[in-house]
Chains A and B, each alone.
Chain A
Amino acid sequence: MMKGLKKWRLFSLLAVITVFLSACSGEDYISTLKPAGEVGQDQFDLLIFSISIMTLVVVVVSFLYLYAFAKFRRSKLGEKHMPKQVEGSHTLEIIWAVIPIVLLLILSVPTILSTYKFADVKAMDEVDEEGNKTALTVNVTAKLYWWEFEYPEQGIVTAQELVVPTGERVYFNLKAADVKHSFWIPAVGGKMDNNVENVNKFWLEFGKESEGLKDGVFYGKCAELCGPSHALMDFKVKTVERAEFDAWVASMQATEGQTASVDSTDLGEATFAQSCLGCHAVSGVGSTGAMGPNLATFADRNRVAGILEHNKENLESWIANPEEYKPGNLMTGKYSELSPEEISAVADYIMSLSVEK
């Protein structure tokens, strides 16, 4: 009976641990524990390395602690027991000063190497014989609750959904337009801040195509408190093979000059031109600095406003009252009130903007 109970206990413990461990590693499109890229992988390795050292420390401390606690209880030794009053021990004190120093020295080696490796952005300025940049650079501008991605060499700009090639180092210039933000793609690599006064540079390598992921994209987050809708300042990252990326760039460049016309017979386009075009461009060619996210690739995206499921109803609700979905956003009140028909038509129009279809 007791034996059976013990077995059952062991089994349930194992089951709990299994569930726990699988629940602990998270989803592959957002978890740092499922790294997809060189930086993320290095950081994951460093995590495992430091955890191993720390586990060693915790095990030693716990053992000493539990042993002392179990052995020297007054309930066992008796009320009258008078322990020997020890002042200390130089030998022991030296031992537990030196061992941690050695452990920390071991840990500091990969720390210093990786710190310099991740900060190495010299390749950003390298050019080939024709004077073209050899590496892809993306300028990321964080704005109150949305992200703008400019590809300066390609002359294109997009928003909310970053498209990058896999298998090469992609360099980023980070900047904030209003308040401080922080650019973080957990599954791909650590974050860096978008400051208001200076440009931060770093690189990431995207190790696998995002196609197979649940939503077909990696999740990106703002990691620095930036106001009421900080929690909603998400972006997505689509990683594709280099050839596909080049094709995407070409189709983006092909949208040059695309615009909406107030005189259009399409109610959606006309309304868009009237109410939205002032902030939202519909051509992917351009540079950073727009008031609102560029919408040239809207239909190809994964979310409405970075957070809502990508369908027309959500887009309509968003246009009707952005404040309800992202408090404190800068779109609310920037356009005159639209009738339900107009909203529906505008949504149809925006949903038709694509470079991939």
Chain B
Amino acid sequence: MSSVAVSKKKGFGAVLWDYLTTVDHKKLGVMYLFAGVLFFAIAGFEALLMRIQLMVPNNDFISAGLFNELLTMHGTTMLFLAATPLLFGFMNAIVPLQIGARDVAFPFLNSLGFWLFFLGAIFMHLSFFMGGAPDAGWTSYASLSLYSPGHGIDFYVLGLQISGAGTLISGINFIVTIITMRAPGMTFMRMPLFTWTTLISSSLILFAFPPLTVGLFFMLVDRMFGANFFDHTMGGNTIIWEHLFWIFGHPEVYILVLPAFGLFSEIIPVFARKRLFGYSSMVFATILIGFLGFMVWAHHMFTVGMGPTANAIFAIATMAIAVPTGMKVFNWILTIWGGSIKVTVPMLYALGFIPSFVAGGVTGVMMATAPLDYQLHDSYFIVAHFHYVIVGGIVTAIFGSMHYYWPIMFNRTLSEKLGVLTFWVFFIGFHLTFFLQHFLGLMGMPRRVFTFQADQGWDLFNYISSIGAIMMAVGVVLLVINVLLSIKTPPVNRRDYWGDGRSLEWSIQLPVPFYNFKQTPLVRGFDPCWLEKQEGNKEMMTYAEPLGDIHMPNNSILPLIMSIGLFIAAFGALYHPDGVSWSVPVIVIGLGITVLAMITRSVKDDHGFHVHVEEVIATEERLYGKGGNK
């Protein structure tokens, strides 16, 4: 229905409608990517403002209250609304191609997940224009968030609830897709590492988001109806929030970093021209990290007063995670050992990632040492630590993968030259910003401070750190310029853009047709693209079926309508505690819209459509010229 019929020049309205209604995993991947970049830019700008404020002691560039709003929105946005969608973008765009599927298992839900995330994110950001953003930190510890005046925290709670539902839906979708939609021959132990990490990280989403949902729900009813879950004067307990938050919050780190590991496990073998070293131990380590990730949440709470036994147990459990993570690092190094390393931009990010992430990892073990953590906790040391993990691990993966997968996603290329420049500016800026923050923490500087007094020995390092932040910002601007310039590059129009592609997605002739695979591929071993190339197969793919009709899902506007309904209802809920008369009607109308859309979806049968053989042949000719997919 979509691409073939409207393949000629389309008007702006038609393109817009296509994107609003699409259920195509590739388009949703692009939408996740751009939404992620948008929020990444916003949150990065917030960070820049904070670093300018902290450049010199006793600065008054930003007021105390605004600074707390910025630090809260920076953390919340980066984790929930930037890193998550950026990684979802790659998962959407790449995982179905890697496993030889024509789409995800639930295309409709895929679209719903995106719109819930996007409207939840927009809702949260409207807080800046509607009386103040949340200001209790991204952790939103209960005593402070209940005390916080205005609607900031309500925006946080409702926005995260909506976008969190989207994330949960997408996670479930990936689990089902990877388990059920693999091409013939794509056994679990032949799955590329990115698919594996997507599967494990989606399973973590499945188990980690419900505790957050519960916590947010408690917070919501506390603030809306005075339910007193967290009000200690009424028998509530704020520590419960901390537990609920971190039972979610710690796995969240692995939800983000595992796909990043997966992306690097794709990039490194390709540019080392060598099979990933220790594939099965990589898979095992991924599963182990995912499992242990749920056993360690209380290491965020060593100073809460849980007692020495709990602290000691969680300290040891946390240290244990270093073992599978270390296995991964050694496997990557042994992959390039004896290989033939070509330093492209994606590889540059991978090579920069290894030492940065190791640095973040070892400080992690230091923080796991509970008695030492009493000093490091809530100081600038922890700020340095988690930025080494998140920027050094996740952001480098995202930037590297943008270069790596740009040809598949857009049939265009990002400039290598500009990419190298971007890498160095960003990478040096990153280390300049965060390396010295370790020492600031050790020298006694607490985190989340909007200013500091002069002459405590912190002036110089803060100044240098701020300069690093400006360099990082320049790096991001360069990346955006690179993206804009890529529009003008010639289309790639071939297979295996990097020349050493190994997994199935590189076997596909670019541009990828909307049905992905003309014929479902037959996977004959690990690294199928590499395997077929070694055997001299010019098409880089063996097929499991003859050419036939292809069944594809229909587009739908319903996911957007459902999400808009919740978006509207959230405003009613937000203003309900003020006692305004229209709050309940708005909640009812909003939820009504959502429920009506759900009923429509349920009663109206939608069996999708078939792309007939002739149409497939016509599409192939249009995309690749006479002779079709050769």
- Residues of A at the B interface (CB closer than 8 Å) are 23-27, 30-33, 40, 42-43, 46-47, 50-51, 54, 57-58, 61-62, 64-65, 68-69, 72-74, 77, 81-89, 92-93, 96-97, 100-101, 104, 107-108, 110-112, 114-119, 174, 176, 178-180, 182, 184, 186-187, 189-193, 195-198, 200-201, 214, 219, 221-232, 234, 307, 327-328
Contact = CB atoms under 8 A, between A and B. Distances in A.
Interface string B309-346: 00110011001101100110111011011111111000
Contacts of B371: 42-43, 46, 110-111, 114-115, 117-118, 190
Most A C-beta atoms less than 10 A away, residue of B141, B232, B277, B446: B446
Given A68-B337, A192-B305, A43 B277 contact: no
B442 interface: yes
Contacts of A182: 303, 378
Given A87-B279, A100-B326, A197 B443 contact: no
Nearest to B460: A23
B594 interface: no
B281 A93 contact: yes
B340 A74 contact: yes
For the complex of A and B, list the 7 residue pairs with the smallest distance between their C-beta atoms, beginning with the closest.
A190-B374, A26-B443, A186-B444, A231-B449, A114-B371, A88-B278, A54-B362
Contact of A61 (B333, B336, B338, B447): B333
Interface in B327-370: 327, 329-331, 333-334, 336-343, 351, 354-355, 358-359, 362-363, 365-366, 369-370
A190 B373 contact: yes
Given A72-B272, A180-B238, A327 B63 contact: yes
Given A65-B333, A108-B315, A25 B274 contact: no
B448 interface: yes
Contacts of A81: 273, 340
B311 A115 contact: yes
Contacts of A195: 238-239, 304-305
A190 B375 contact: yes
Interface stretch (B155-163, B255-263, B450-458): B450-458
Nearest to B499: A79
Contact of A179 (B143, B358, B372, B439): B143
Given A191-B377, A328-B64, A221 B327 contact: no
B404 interface: no
Interface of B: 63-65, 68, 135-137, 141, 143-144, 147-148, 232, 237-239, 272-275, 277-281, 303-305, 307-308, 311-312, 315-316, 319-320, 322-323, 326-327, 329-331, 333-334, 336-343, 351, 354-355, 358-359, 362-363, 365-366, 369-375, 377-379, 439, 442-444, 446-453, 455-458, 460-461
Contact of A191 (B148, B273, B303, B448): B303
A182 B458 CA distance: 21
A104 B319 contact: yes
Contacts of B274: 83-86
Contact of B343 (A47, A73, A101, A112): A73
15 contacts: A32-B375, A83-B274, A84-B274, A84-B338, A85-B274, A86-B338, A87-B277, A89-B278, A115-B371, A180-B141, A184-B378, A184-B446, A198-B239, A230-B68, A232-B451
A117 B452 CA distance: 33
B64 A229 contact: yes
B273 A61 contact: no
A74 B375 contact: no
A96 B281 CA distance: 11
A118 B327 CA distance: 33
Contact of B340 (A54, A83, A112, A189): A83
Nearest to A114: B371
B305 A74 contact: no
Contact of B65 (A111, A178, A327): A327
Contacts of B369: 46, 50, 107, 110-111
B229 to A, nearest CB: 12
Given A101-B323, A182-B378, A86 B277 contact: yes
A168 to B, nearest CB: 20
B308 A223 contact: no
A222 B446 contact: yes
Contacts of B336: 68-69, 72
B355 A65 contact: yes
A352 B303 CA distance: 39
A82 B273 contact: yes
B144 A180 contact: yes
A115 B298 CA distance: 15
Contact of A25 (B304, B366, B443): B443
B contacts with A: majority SS: helix
Given A32-B375, A197-B232, A64 B453 contact: no
B319 A176 contact: no
Nearest to A187: B444
A206 B330 CA distance: 44
B277 A88 contact: yes
Contact of B323 (A104, A232, A234, A327): A104
Contact of B443 (A33, A62, A118): A33
Contact of B359 (A58, A92, A214): A58
A164 B247 CA distance: 39
A3 B451 CA distance: 47
Contacts of A43: 371-372, 374-375
B488 to A, nearest CB: 28
Given A200-B304, A228-B135, 9 more contacts: A27-B457, A30-B443, A50-B366, A64-B333, A83-B274, A108-B319, A117-B371, A118-B371, A189-B375
Among A74, A187, A200, A231, max chain B CB count under 10 A is at: A231
B137 A225 contact: yes
Contacts of B375: 32, 40, 43, 47, 186, 189-191
B273 to A, nearest CB: 6
Nearest to A101: B323
A329 B336 CA distance: 57
Given A88-B278, A224-B141, A24 B312 contact: no
B534 to A, nearest CB: 9
A96 B326 contact: yes
Nearest to B338: A83
B16 to A, nearest CB: 42
A83 B278 contact: no
Contacts of B339: 68, 72, 83
Contact of B143 (A46, A77, A101, A176): A176
A178 B340 contact: no
Nearest to A57: B362
B443 A27 contact: yes
A69 B341 contact: yes
B370 A72 contact: no
Contact of A87 (B143, B239, B275, B355): B275
Contacts of A93: 278, 281, 327, 330-331
Contacts of A226: 144
Which of A23, A110, A112, A229 gathers the greatest number of chain B CB atoms within 10 Å? A112
Nearest to A200: B305
Nearest to A221: B446
A190 B351 CA distance: 36
Among A62, A107, A187, chain B packs the most CB atoms within 10 A around the CB of: A107
A307 B453 contact: yes
A201 to B, nearest CB: 8
Contacts of B135: 228
Contacts of B373: 190
A190 B279 contact: no
B303 A50 contact: no
A118 B374 contact: yes
A189 B444 CA distance: 11
B251 to A, nearest CB: 21
Contacts of A101: 323
A225 to B, nearest CB: 4
A17 B312 CA distance: 36
B308 A32 contact: no
Q: Which of B148, B371, B451 has the most CB of A within 10 A?
A: B371
